[in-house]
DNA sequence: GCCTCTTAGTGGTCAGACCACTTTGACACA
DNA sequence: TGTGTCAAAGTGGTCTGACCACTAAGAGGC
């Protein structure tokens, strides 16, 4: 009766049901591919594609030689695929992504100012030093920058927020921002933004944190807008 | 040298490269599965799994009998998988999701108040009537409610924001909210929230829109917190 | 010139085999 | 008794080749 959906798709739905019905819980192991295929009366190939699909979604995890397991189903697991957006996006979509970040990061930073533990602040401070210090490579600066923002959002205690924020950030874009600012001699402005955010967190001042985060995102946003306009006018190599 | 990654994973990376390098663009057709497999010197099965993975991510689209195509790569395409989070989440994670929405929706609604076209406002008003009117089924109310919020976010003109917001909403959760409020006789409060938001949009008053959206999300948030506490104390059928 | 229908080519599914890896427990040894 | 080794069973990963279901385009008739 339900011939519209493909065999594989039905298998996906069935496995989802097994999870939502509690037949298998987070971290638990599923029956073998061969068993599942036999149970639904489909070929192992089709079952494998269904499992591949759910693996991509972050719902399942296949361990070679050991079985297929349900992940912890935490936000970070399920939003890993989210990063594809930031990776693939270009031009105007990147501006849209930054606009979303301008809504989230200030609120998240303000929340972090109220909630961050002392240990959080120490860790964030250490990352700030790694950004400010003269690092060996540009890659290290990018890593520290990503870690800095990630640590702040994580210190809100909201794992979903952290996962969403991470999905809106991308290493390649971040590297492009630093390269662009370095070329123009504006890296000090970026460092100053970070310092201002950190100070607000240490002072446990949500309003100041919100303002500092807004300024930072808007700086990047304005830079990107200018960069995009520049590339449109002078399409170089 | 790179024997750590699986054959399928390599195929995924390779196809991603073909897209990011511009070898195939959005909407264009890829070579056949058989061709791609032969080109990378892997079996068709493995190539199919790679394609399945990218299909799940919203990067590719397979059309039976017609070929495999790159999607438009728009945010909505890539964030379709995002909804799995809202679907699977329960308990505390749902609270986290609402907390994120409390950061996004007020900002988005304020932006909509400034940017929405007259046509947008008409459409939003129509959806409001569908919520307020005496609908045949509860399902219709939920549909109209989802459409109402979606239309508002869409009228910001930011497709990424719309896609993210949609990913944070779920039909099942929304239905649960209405059912819970109906049971307690509080549906009027929900309707009043919506009316307040709509009025702020029509008045093109970003501040009022922000406040109205905040109130609305917080109402749902408080209801969920109470509901979760209630279920913990009285775990019924 | 238009419609119908065949047909080549595509993705979807199946079957069975073998490979790579993990886990476990029997076994020899200290 | 405890411990390390390693062989074997079972798992996911890959390959092959066949057939089915569907689409699109061209050949043919009208």
8 Å CB contact between A81 and B58:
no
Are residues B166 and B93 part of one domain? yes
Pairing state of beta strands A60-63 and A67-70? Answer: antiparallel
Give the pLDDT confidence of A158-212 residue by residue, as tens digits.
999 999 999 898 888 898 898 889 888 888 888 999 999 999 999 999 999 999 9
Residue whose CA lies closest to nucleotide D9 C1': A65
Residue B168 phi/psi, 5° resolution? -90, -5
Q: What's the Cα-to-Cα distance from B128 to each of B78, B132, B136, B146, B152, rounded to whole Å?
A: 29, 6, 15, 11, 11
Chain centroid to Cα A181, Å, comes to 23
Are residues A19 and A125 part of one domain? no
Are residues A17 and A129 part of one domain? no
Are residues B127 and B41 part of one domain? no
What does chain A come to in residues?
A: 237
Nearest nt to the CA of B68 via C1' is C11
**Using the CB atom, is residue A68 less than 7 Å from strand D?**
yes
What does chain B come to in residues?
A: 237
Determine whether the interchain pair B52/A8 forms a contact, defined as Cβ–Cβ distance below 8 Å. yes
Model confidence at B224: pLDDT above 70: yes
Mean of per-residue pLDDT scores for chain A? 91
Residues 42-61 of B with CB under 7 A from strand C: 44-45, 48, 51
B214: how many CB neighbours lie within 10 A of its CB? Answer: 17
In a domain, A1, yes or no: no
Which H helix or E strand runs over A67? strand A67-70
Identify the pLDDT of residue A55: 97
Instruction: Note the CA–C1' distance, B38 to D17, in angstroms.
Output: 15
Are residues B155 and B93 part of one domain? yes
Identify the pLDDT of residue A184: 87
SS3 B1: coil
8 Å CB contact between B50 and A52:
no
Are residues A158 and A193 part of one domain? yes
Domain CATH for B43: 1.10.10.10
Model confidence at B237: pLDDT above 60: no
Are residues A59 and A95 part of one domain? no
Are residues B31 and B102 part of one domain? no
8 Å CB contact between B115 and B155:
yes
Helix axes A187-202 and A171-184, enclosed angle (nearest 10): 120
Numbered residues of chain B with Cβ closer than 8 Å to any chain A Cβ: 8, 19-20, 45, 48-49, 52-53, 55-59, 73-75, 78-79, 81-82, 84-85, 88-89, 93, 96-97, 99-100, 103-104, 107-108, 158-161, 164
**Using the CB atom, is residue A47 less than 7 Å from strand D?**
no
Identify the pLDDT of residue B1: 38
Instruction: Note the CA–C1' distance, B65 to C3, in angstroms.
Output: 23
Considering only CB atoms, A96 lies closest to which of B88, B93, B160, namely B160
Determine whether the interchain pair A78/B85 forms a contact, defined as Cβ–Cβ distance below 8 Å. yes
Nearest chain B residue to A160 by CA distance is B96
Are residues A35 and A133 part of one domain? no
SS3 B46: helix
In a domain, A190, yes or no: yes
**Maximum C-alpha span of chain B:** 67
Instruction: Note the CA–C1' distance, A119 to C28, in angstroms.
Output: 52
Are residues A27 and A95 part of one domain? no
Which residues in chain B have their CB less than 8 angstroms from residue A164's CB? 100, 164
**Domain limits at B164?**
80-233
8 Å CB contact between B109 and B210:
yes
Give the pLDDT confidence of B162-208 residue by residue, as tens digits.
999 998 988 888 989 988 898 888 888 889 999 999 999 999 999 99
CA angle A199–A202–A207, rounded 5-degree value: 70
3-state helix, strand, coil in chain B (%, to 5): 75, 5, 25
Helix axes B138-154 and B159-167, enclosed angle (nearest 10): 150
Pick the closest to residue B146 from B130, B133, B161, B157 (CA basis).
Answer: B130
Instruction: Note the CA–C1' distance, A208 to D1, in angstroms.
Output: 67
Are residues A161 and A124 part of one domain? yes
In the predicted model, what is the mean pLDDT of residues B72-85?
Answer: 87
Total domain count, chain A:
2
CA angle A73–A74–A75, rounded 5-degree value: 120
Domain CATH for A125: 1.20.120.530
> Which segment of A156-160, A168-172, B55-59, B67-71 scores lowest on mean pLDDT?
A168-172
Q: Scanning the structure block, which residue is given the tokens 């693996």?
A: A55
In the predicted model, what is the mean pLDDT of residues A49-68?
Answer: 97
**Using the CB atom, is residue A70 less than 7 Å from strand D?**
no
What is the C-alpha separation between A113 and A205, in angstroms, rounded? 6
């Amino acid at each position: 009766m339900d011939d519209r959906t493909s065999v594989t798709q039905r298998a996906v739905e069935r496995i989802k049901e097994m999870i939502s019905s509690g037949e298998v819980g987070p971290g638990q192991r599923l029956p073998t591919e061969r068993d599942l295929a036999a149970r639904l009366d489909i070929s192992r190939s089709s079952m494998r594609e269904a499992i591949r699909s759910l693996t991509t979604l972050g719902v399942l995890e296949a361990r070679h030689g050991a079985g297929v397991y349900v992940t912890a189903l935490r936000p970070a697991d399920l939003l890993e695929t989210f990063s594809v957006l930031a990776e693939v996006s270009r031009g105007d979509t990147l501006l849209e992504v930054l606009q979303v970040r301008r809504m989230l990061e200030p609120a998240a930073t303000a929340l972090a100012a109220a909630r961050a533990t002392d240990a959080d602040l120490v860790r964030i401070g250490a990352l700030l030093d790694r950004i400010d210090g003269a690092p060996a490579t540009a890659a290290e600066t990018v890593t520290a920058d990503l870690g800095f923002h990630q640590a702040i959002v994580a210190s809100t205690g909201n794992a979903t927020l952290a996962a969403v924020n991470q999905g809106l950030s991308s290493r390649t874009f971040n590297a492009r921002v630093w390269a662009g600012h370095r070329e123009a001699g504006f890296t000090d402005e970026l460092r100053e933004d970070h310092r201002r955010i950190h100070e607000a967190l240490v002072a446990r001042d949500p309003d100041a944190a919100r303002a500092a985060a807004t300024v930072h995102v808007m700086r990047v946003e304005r830079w990107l807008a200018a960069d995009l306009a520049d590339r449109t006018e002078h399409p170089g190599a």
